[in-house]
A and B are shown apart, each in its own frame.
Chain A
Amino acid sequence: MTMPIPGSEQFSSRPVDPDELARSLPSSLTVHTVDQEQIDSLDPLTYEVIRHRLWSVTDEMGEALKRQSGSPIVTDANDFDFAISDELGQEVQVGLYNTMLVGAVDLAIYWTLRNRADNPGIESGDMFLTNDPWVGGGLHQNDVMVYQPVFHEGKLFAWTSAIAHQPDLGGVGLGSFSPAAQDVFSESLPTPPVKVVRGGVLQRDVADLYTRRSRVPMLVGLDLRAKIGANNVGAERLHALITQYGPDTVKAVMKRMMSDAEARLRDKLTALPDGSWTATGYQDQSHEGDRNLHKITVTTTKTADHLTFDFTGTDPQAGVINCTYAGMRGGVMLALLPILASDIPWSAGGLMRCFDLVTEEGTLNNATFPAAVGRGPIGPAWLTGSLIAECLSQMLDRDLELGRNVQATCCGTWDTAVIAGLDERGEQPAPFLSIMMEPMAGGYGARPHADGIDTGGLFCIPMGRVPDVEMTEFLYPVLTLWRREVPDSGGPGRHRGGLGASLAITPHGTSVPMGLVLASAGKAVAQNAGLSGGHPGNSGLDVVARRSRVAELLAAGRMPSELEEISDALEPAQNYASSYLAPGEVFAMTWQGGGGYGDPLTRDPDAVARDLREQKITAGAATGVYGVVVTDGRPDATATAAERARLRGVRRERSRVDGTTGGKADLGSVKRVDDNLVESGDAVACRHCGEVLGGVGSGERLTLAVYEGPSTDAGPQMIADPADYVDTPIVFRQYSCPSCWTALYSGVVPADHPDGAATIGRLTVTTG
C-alpha cells in the first residue's frame, strides 16, 4: 500500500443536506423545485398516473441501455442500472438490476453540483461521465456512469443516469482486474466527472480520452453510445411528461414519491422494537500471496424510525479487497431494498434518508485513495450487504409478519475465473477472452417459512442469468464436463439453504495452454452464514487438475463426473491467482449456496426424505446432519427420534457451559425473538424447552452451551480446507440451549470471532 496522496480527499463524495446543497449552487445555475404545499395538494389520481409514467420512463431507459449495449456483462449478466433523480440528485426511481449501484448514483451528482457548476458549468444538452468510485456513480472503475442534467425553461429540473460495468478499461490486468495490485495505479484510471456531451454533441476528444485506455475500445465506445441513448430516452420522455402535466406537478410527484417511500419505511421501522444487532464477516486473502483474514463488522441500531449502521472496528484497507464509501452504501442498499422495501416503490432518495453510516476512513469498506478497489463490489461491498442483511433479519425475525423477509445469508461473493487463449477451431486461429459466468447461479439463504432457492442467483443482481453451456462452447474452445447443483451445498437448517453449483471445463479445440486468472473468497471461512442455529452453506472450492486423465477417459467412452476420476494431482487454487490451464487438464469450480435457517435437527423429516430423493442432500447428511433415518424413501420415525436424541447427546458431550440456567419459564405468554428464543417477562428462554437462559437486560451474557471444533463439523458442505488458504485457525462454533441442546447459532468462523453469547437474542448489545 502506498502512502495517502494529499489532494485526493476532494474527490470523496458524501451524502449531503439537500437544502445546504441548493444554497451552495452558483447564481448561474437555477434549479426548479416546489414547496411542500404543492406536494400536499397533489390529487391521488394525478399522483398515481405520473408515478406510473416515471416508472415507465426508467423502464424504457433500461431497455434502451440493455438493447444497445455490446457487453455480455450487461446483456447477459444484467450488471447495470439506471435512475431518475430530482434537481439535486436525490434518486426518485431506480432500476431493478444491480441494486448496489443505487447507493452510488446520487453521490456522483452531488459531487458534480458542488464541483462542476462553476466550471465547466452544468447546462442543458450536457452529459457527464465518471468512473471514479470515490466520487460515486459506480463501485469500481469498471462501473461507468453517464448522466445528464435535464433543464426546463432554463432551470435544472432533474437528472437521468445510466451505469454499466465495462469489460475492460485498462490497467495491468485483463478486464482491469489485477489479483496482485498494490494500489489503484495498477488498475484502471479513475476518471472524475468530465463533460462527454456538450450542447447535445459528443465531445470526441473526451470520448477518445476515455476509450483509449481500454483493451476493447470499440466495445466500450458502443456502451458509451448506449448510455447516451438511454439518457436521451429519459430526457425526451421527461419533457413529454412536463408538457402534459406542467413542471410543478411532475416535480411535486417526484418529491412525494421519495417522501412516500421514506414514510412507509419509517412506519415499518416504528413498528419494530428498538435494538442493536451486530454481524461480523470476513474476506479470506486480500491479494495474490496473502494468507490473512480481513474483517468487516457492523452494529445496526434501530431507534424509533431510524437506522444507524456503525462499521467501527472494521479492518484497515488491504490488497485489492477494498471499496469506497459508495461501495459501503451500495452494500447497504443491496440488503435494504429487497428486505425492507420489497413492497415500497424504490424511490431510493427517500429510503436513504432513513439511515446513517458511521465509519472510519481507510478501512476495507471506506477505503481512501489510492487503495486498489477492483474487487470493490463483489468483495467488500457485497460482504457489507450480507452483514446488513444478517442484522436486518435478526431485527425482523422478532415480528412474524415482517419476518417473512428474514433470510439467512445468500451466496456471499462472485467467484471470478477469467480464461484467455487461442481458439483453433476455425480456419484461422483467433484469440479469445471470457469470464466464466456460471457462478451467477449461487444459492439463496433459507427463511423462517421456506427453504432457500437452489441456484437462485445472486441477491445483488436479482435479474442475473447464466449462459447456456452450448453458447459457451460455441464461443470458446472448452468442453463442459459438468454443470450441476451440488448436493449438501445448501446450509443445513430447519429450512435448508439453496444449493450452490459446480462447473468443470477442459480445453477443447486449442493446442496451447490458456491463461486462468482467479479471484474469489469464502474458501476458509463461511460467507453464507446461517441464522437461528442454521448452518452456513458450503465453502467454495476451485481446483486445477494437473496430470489429468481426461483425454484417455473420453477416448475410452467414459464421461468423468468426479475430480478423483480425473487426476491424482488436484491442486486447490488460491483465491487470488494468475495461473494457466493446459490441454488435457481440467478446471473445476464450486461456488456458494445459501445459509440455513433454524436447527437442522428440527427439520421436518419428510422434507429431509424429499431432499434426499431429489438429490439436494446426500444420505450421509440426512443422518449425520439432520438426524433423519430414511428407509425406502420414507423417514423412519422411531429411528429418527433415536438418532436425533443421539446427536443432541453429542452436543451435550462436546460442549462447555459457563454459568447456570434459571429453570423453566412460562411459555404461555411470550414474545418471539427468533426461531429458538422467546422473551417471557424479563427473561429470555428457550422456545423449545422453556429453560430460562438469562435476563432481557442489555449487555448480559446468556447462559449457553458452547462448542468449537474443526470446520468440517458444520457438515459435508465444508469442502475446502481452511489451512490451504489462511494461517488463522478456523473453527465450527455452535451455541446450544444447555437444556434441550437445540442449536441457537452455528458458524464457521475464525477462532477469535466475537463471542456470540453476548449478542444472541439481545435487543441491545455493548460493543467495543
Chain B
Amino acid sequence: MAYVIGVDVGGTFTDAVLDDDAGTVLAAKSPSTPPDYSRGVLDVLELLAEQLGRSLPEMLADTHHIAHGTTSSLNALVMGDVPPVGFLTTKGHRDSIFIMNVEGRYLGRSPHELQNVLGQDKQHGLIPKRHALEVTERIDRDGTVVVALDEDEARAAIRSLVADGVRAIAVSLLWSFRNPAHERRLRELIAEVDPELFVALSSEVSPRIREFARNATTIMSTQIGPGLRDYLSTLESTLRENSLAGPLLVMQSNGGAVAAAEAPATAISTVGSVLTGGVVGSVALGRQLGHRNIISTDVGGTTFLAGLIVDGEPVRDTTTVINHHPINVPTLRVDAIGSGGGAIAWLDAGGNLRIGPHSAQAVPGPACYGNGGTEPTNTDANLVLGILPERGLLGGRKPLSLELARQAIDIRIAKPLGLTVEEAAAAIYTVQNAQTGDLLRKTVVEAGHDPRDFVLYAFGGAGPAHCAGYAAEVGVDEVVVPLGPVASAFSAFGLASSDIVLAAELSDPTVVPFDPTRAERNFADLEQRVRDGLARQGVRFETVQVHREIDMRYTMQLAELTAPVANGPLDITAIEAAAAAFEKRYAEMFGKDAGFREAGIQAITFRVRGVGVLPFSPELPTVAEATGPAEPASRRPVCLAAAAGFVDTPVYDYRELRAGHVLTGPAVVEVPTTTVVLPAGTTGTVDHLGSLTIRTAPAGSPS
C-alpha cells in the first residue's frame, strides 16, 4: 500500500486529497493557520489519517510523496510582507526597476481600473532606492566585456547594504545571460563579506533578455527565498519526525512539482502554485473522460480563475504579472477574470446595474451570511432566487438569512430601479452570467482559440450555480462539474496528480536561420541542467521526458511565441521546422497573414522542460451504477430566468445520485460543498466518476 497526498494551502482553507494505488480517494479540509501555515498542513494530514483509521506516522510512513501547493509566498509579495533585500546592478541602469518600463503603472489592472488613469500609481515599487546600488561594469549584447567589474566599488556597495540590515541580495546585470562572469564574481565578493547572505543571480534565476522583468524576477525571488526556505525546512522536519519517508514536493507555476530542498533557490517558480492545481486536476480528469480541449473555471468566494487546456496540454505562458510587475516564470496560463460568489452588485452614477469587480471578501462576506455585510452579492441573489436553500449548503454549518439578502438587494438595487426584489435578483444572476461569458471569451480568444471547440469544467464553491449560464454565453455546449470525493478539493486532487517538472532557459537572441551547433550547445547545456536537477529530486521516475522549445518573434513584432523543437541532433531542418511551427502558431493566435515574415524571424530564448513522470497517476474511482431513475429529494420554487419567473423545480441530493442518472432542467442539485444549476433546456448526466455533465438538450426534446 502506498499513498500520494496533495495539499493545497489557501488563504482560508488547507485542502488535502489522498489517493492510494487501490482505488481509494479521500479528501479533507481544515482552516489555514497563518503565519505558520505548517500547522494547518499537519491538521489536515491528521484528518486524512483519521479517515484511513491509521495514525499520522503510520500514514506518512506509507506515503510515496506529498505534493504541496502554497499561497504564502504570493501573499507575502502582494502584501509587501517581505524582508529587506539589496539589489546590485549595472551602473547607469539602477532605475530600470523604478521606471518599470512605464507599464508597471498599469500592468495587471482590470479594465475598470485602466480607464481611471488618475487612480493609478507606482507605489508598489520592489525596494527603496537606497537598497538598489550600482556597480561599475558593462557587458554588451555579444557578451563582450566593455568595462571590467570594479571590485573595490562592489565590496563597498555590499558592505553598505549589510550595514543597512540587508540579509539577502539580488544581483542582476545587463546582458548577464550572455556572460555571467561579473554576476558570479559578485556572488564571491558577497560571500567574502558574509557567507550567510542569501544571494540570487539573474543569470541563474531568469537568464532571459529584457532587464526589467529579469531584475524584478530576481528581486522577488530573493524576497521570498529565505522565507520559503525556513517554512519548508520546518515543515519537512516535522513531517520527517512523523515518519514521512518519501519526498516533500512543492508545486510550481509550470504545473509540475520540485523537491522542497530545491525550491528556495528559484523560489519565484513556486509562486503561482495554488493557482495551477485546478488546471492540473482538469488535465488528469480530462484524460479519464477523454476531453482534450477544456476551459477550466475555478470559482471561489472572492476569485474566478480560468485556465485552458488545448489538445490535452495546459496552455503555458512564459511570463506572468505579480504586483504589477512582469515576472519571468514559465507558468500555466491562469487568468483571474472576475470576483466569484462574493462579487458585489451596485448601481453606478447613471443608475445602471453593475457587478464587481469589488467583492465582499471573506469578511464580511455576502449579506446573507449575517456577518454585517450590507452589499448585495451574487450569493445573495442566488438565495433570493431559490438556487440556494435557506439552510445553506448541505455540508455547511450555518443557515443563510433570506431576510438580509432580500433587504440588501431591495435597498441597493430593487428600489432605485423600481423592480421587485425577485426581478432585481434575476437581473443580477443574468448579468453575472453574461459578463462572465464576455470575460471568459476574452481569455479563450486571446489565446488564439474558439470557445466552441471546448468543454468547460466548473469547480469551486461558487462555479456550478452559474456554469451552465456562462458556458452558453460563450457557445460551449458541454459542461462538466467534477463531483465525487474530490468535489471540495479539486485543486488538491490536481496536486496529487502532478509530475515533477523542471525548466531551464537561456536567452541567446539570434536570427533564423542560425548556426545549429550553437543552438545544440545551448540545448545540451540546458538539458544537462534539467537532468541534473531531476536527479537531485530524490524520487524514482517511471520515465523522464525532455521537451525543447524556443521563444521566437518576427523581427518587427513584439509578440514572442514558444515553438517546440524536435529532440535529437539539431540541424538546419529542425530549425526550419521550429520556425514553421512558430509561424503556424502565430497565424493561429493573431490571424492568417498577420506575421511580417519579410522582416525575418528571431530566436530569443531557448528552453528545456524536463518532466519526471511519477509512478503514480491518481484516478478518480468509479461510483455505483444507478438501479432506477433519480428521485428529487424535494421541490421548491426557483427562478433561473426573469422571463420564466419562479418555477416549481425539483431539487436533487447529490448523495443519492448514481452513475447513469439523467436529470432534466430546470433542476437544482445540492452537493455538500456546492450547488449545481441545470437551466431549462439542458440535461445533466451523472457519469461513472460521479461528475455531472450538463448538455444542451437536443432541439425538439421535451424540457
Q: Mark B190-222, 1 if CB is under 8 A from A, else 0.
A: 000000000000000000011111000000000
Which residue from A260, A346, A441, A613 sits with its C-beta under 8 Å from B99? A441
Q: How far is the CA of A225 from the CA of B587 in the complex (A)?
A: 13
Provided the pairs A71-B556, A453-B105, A557-B150 are in contact, do residues A484 and B95 lie with their beta carbons within 8 angstroms? yes
B622 at the interface (CB under 8 A from A): no
User: Are B596's CB and A70's CB within 8 A?
Assistant: yes
B688 at the interface (CB under 8 A from A): no
Which residue from B209, B351, B591 sits with its C-beta under 8 Å from A468? B209
A464 at the interface (CB under 8 A from B): yes
User: Are B122's CB and A554's CB within 8 A?
Assistant: no
A455 at the interface (CB under 8 A from B): yes
Provided the pairs A45-B430, A457-B105 are in contact, do residues A225 and B594 lie with their beta carbons within 8 angstroms? yes
Q: How far is the CA of A59 from the CA of B103 in the complex (A)?
A: 19
Number of contacting residues on B, CB 8 A?
81
B36 at the interface (CB under 8 A from A): no
User: Are A60's CB and B445's CB within 8 A?
Assistant: yes
Q: How far is the CA of A220 from the CA of B446 in the complex (A)?
A: 24
A49 at the interface (CB under 8 A from B): yes
Provided the pairs A70-B556, A559-B138 are in contact, do residues A218 and B352 lie with their beta carbons within 8 angstroms? no
User: Are B349's CB and A267's CB within 8 A?
Assistant: yes
B241 at the interface (CB under 8 A from A): no
A264 at the interface (CB under 8 A from B): yes
Nearest CB in chain B: distance from A433 CB, A: 11
User: Are A48's CB and B102's CB within 8 A?
Assistant: no
User: Are B130's CB and A346's CB within 8 A?
Assistant: no
Q: How far is the CA of A426 from the CA of B431 in the complex (A)?
A: 57
Query: Which residues 541-559 of B sit at the A interface, judged by CB distance below 8 A?
Result: 554, 556-559
Q: Which of B96, B348, B352 counts the most chain A CB atoms within 10 A?
A: B352
A268 closest partner in B (C-beta) = B349
User: Are A463's CB and B106's CB within 8 A?
Assistant: yes
User: Are A63's CB and B445's CB within 8 A?
Assistant: yes
Q: Mark A464-483, 1 if CB is under 8 A from B, else 0.
A: 11111111011000011111
Provided the pairs A49-B434, A225-B593, A468-B210 are in contact, do residues A473 and B349 lie with their beta carbons within 8 angstroms? no
Question: Which residues on the A side are within 8 Å of B174 (C-beta)?
Answer: 469-470
Provided the pairs A229-B591, A454-B122 are in contact, do residues A264 and B350 lie with their beta carbons within 8 angstroms? yes
B284 at the interface (CB under 8 A from A): no
Which residue from B146, B558, B591 sits with its C-beta under 8 Å from A75? B558
Which residue from A71, A260, A483 sits with its C-beta under 8 Å from B350? A260
Q: How far is the CA of A474 from the CA of B212 in the complex (A)?
A: 15
A503 closest partner in B (C-beta) = B92
Nearest CB in chain A: distance from B42 CB, A: 43
User: Are B594's CB and A456's CB within 8 A?
Assistant: no
Provided the pairs A45-B431, A453-B105, A463-B114 are in contact, do residues A615 and B121 lie with their beta carbons within 8 angstroms? no
A96 at the interface (CB under 8 A from B): yes
Which of the candidate stretches B63-71, B291-299, B435-443 sits at the interface with the other chain?
A: B435-443
Question: Which residues on the A side are within 8 Å of B117 (C-beta)?
Answer: 338, 342, 459, 462
Which residue from A96, A222, A464, A480 sits with its C-beta under 8 Å from B102? A464
User: Are A52's CB and B435's CB within 8 A?
Assistant: yes
B175 at the interface (CB under 8 A from A): yes
Q: How far is the CA of A512 from the CA of B311 in the complex (A)?
A: 52
User: Are B129's CB and A453's CB within 8 A?
Assistant: no
Question: Which residues on the A side are within 8 Å of B441 (C-beta)?
Answer: 56
Question: Which residues on the A side are within 8 Å of B137 (C-beta)?
Answer: 559
Query: Which residues 462-492 of B sit at the A interface, judged by CB distance below 8 A?
Result: none
Question: Which residues on the A side are within 8 Å of B150 (C-beta)?
Answer: 557
User: Are B594's CB and A218's CB within 8 A?
Assistant: no
Question: Which residues on the A side are within 8 Å of B122 (C-beta)?
Answer: 453-456
Q: How far is the CA of A613 from the CA of B556 in the complex (A)?
A: 41
Nearest CB in chain A: distance from B261 CB, A: 33
A218 closest partner in B (C-beta) = B598
Q: Mark B547-582, 1 if CB is under 8 A from A, else 0.
A: 000000010111100000000000000000000000
A339 at the interface (CB under 8 A from B): yes
User: Are B434's CB and A554's CB within 8 A?
Assistant: no
User: Are A260's CB and B352's CB within 8 A?
Assistant: yes
Question: Which residues on the A side are within 8 Å of B435 (C-beta)?
Answer: 49, 52
Q: How far is the CA of A480 from the CA of B175 in the complex (A)?
A: 12
User: Are B96's CB and A51's CB within 8 A?
Assistant: no
A637 at the interface (CB under 8 A from B): no
User: Are B147's CB and A558's CB within 8 A?
Assistant: yes
A724 at the interface (CB under 8 A from B): no
Question: Which residues on the A side are within 8 Å of B105 (C-beta)?
Answer: 453, 456-457
A57 closest partner in B (C-beta) = B438
Provided the pairs A59-B111, A225-B593, A554-B147 are in contact, do residues A49 and B350 lie with their beta carbons within 8 angstroms? no
Query: Which residues 57-81 of A sit at the B interface, judged by CB distance below 8 A?
Result: 59-60, 63-64, 67-72, 75-76
Question: Which residues on the B side are within 8 Å of A557 (C-beta)?
Answer: 136, 147-148, 150
Which residue from A405, A456, A469 sits with its C-beta under 8 Å from B211? A469
A341 closest partner in B (C-beta) = B115
Which residue from A67, A466, A473 sits with its C-beta under 8 Å from B589? A67
User: Are B349's CB and A344's CB within 8 A?
Assistant: yes
A59 closest partner in B (C-beta) = B442
Q: How far is the CA of A462 from the CA of B591 in the complex (A)?
A: 27
User: Are B353's CB and A479's CB within 8 A?
Assistant: no
User: Are B642's CB and A561's CB within 8 A?
Assistant: no
Provided the pairs A455-B99, A559-B136 are in contact, do residues A45 and B121 lie with their beta carbons within 8 angstroms? no
Q: How far is the CA of A501 from the CA of B594 in the complex (A)?
A: 35
Provided the pairs A53-B438, A267-B349 are in contact, do residues A471 and B210 lie with their beta carbons within 8 angstroms? yes
User: Are B98's CB and A454's CB within 8 A?
Assistant: yes
B418 closest partner in A (C-beta) = A44
A501 closest partner in B (C-beta) = B99
B91 at the interface (CB under 8 A from A): yes
Q: How far is the CA of A53 from the CA of B103 in the complex (A)?
A: 27
Q: How far is the CA of A56 from the CA of B106 in the complex (A)?
A: 19
A614 at the interface (CB under 8 A from B): yes
Q: How far is the CA of A47 from the CA of B441 in the complex (A)?
A: 20
Q: How far is the CA of A480 from the CA of B99 in the complex (A)?
A: 15
A343 at the interface (CB under 8 A from B): yes
Query: Which residues 595-637 of A sit at the B interface, judged by CB distance below 8 A?
Result: 613-615
B599 at the interface (CB under 8 A from A): yes
User: Are A68's CB and B590's CB within 8 A?
Assistant: yes
User: Are B93's CB and A219's CB within 8 A?
Assistant: no
User: Are B115's CB and A342's CB within 8 A?
Assistant: yes
User: Are A480's CB and B209's CB within 8 A?
Assistant: no
Question: Which residues on the B side are within 8 Å of A407 (C-beta)?
Answer: 118
Question: Which residues on the B side are within 8 Å of A468 (C-beta)?
Answer: 96, 101, 209-213
User: Are B509's CB and A51's CB within 8 A?
Assistant: no
Q: How far is the CA of A726 from the CA of B578 in the complex (A)?
A: 57
User: Are A67's CB and B594's CB within 8 A?
Assistant: yes
User: Are A559's CB and B91's CB within 8 A?
Assistant: yes
Which residue from A72, A229, A267, A459 sits with its C-beta under 8 Å from B556? A72
Q: How far is the CA of A454 from the CA of B95 in the complex (A)?
A: 11
Which residue from B210, B438, B599 sits with its C-beta under 8 Å from A56? B438
A447 at the interface (CB under 8 A from B): yes
B698 at the interface (CB under 8 A from A): no
Q: Mark B581-615, 1 if CB is under 8 A from A, else 0.
A: 00000000111011010110000000000000000
A404 at the interface (CB under 8 A from B): yes
B128 at the interface (CB under 8 A from A): yes
14 A–B contact pairs at CB < 8 A? A44-B427, A55-B111, A63-B445, A72-B556, A76-B558, A338-B118, A343-B348, A454-B122, A455-B122, A462-B106, A468-B211, A485-B99, A508-B140, A557-B147
Q: Knowing that A49-B435, A479-B138 are A-B contacts, what are 14 other residue pairs whose CB atoms are under 8 Å apart, sorted by A's residue number?
A: A45-B430, A56-B438, A60-B442, A67-B589, A264-B349, A338-B118, A343-B348, A426-B511, A468-B96, A479-B140, A480-B92, A482-B92, A483-B96, A614-B130
Residues of B within 8 A of A (CB): 91-96, 98-103, 105-106, 111, 114-122, 128-130, 136-138, 140-142, 146-148, 150, 174-175, 209-213, 348-354, 417, 419, 426-427, 430-431, 434-435, 438-439, 441-442, 445-446, 509, 511, 554, 556-559, 589-591, 593-594, 596, 598-599, 642
- 9 shortest interchain CB distances as A-B pairs: A482-B92, A75-B558, A70-B596, A45-B427, A68-B594, A56-B438, A67-B590, A457-B102, A468-B210
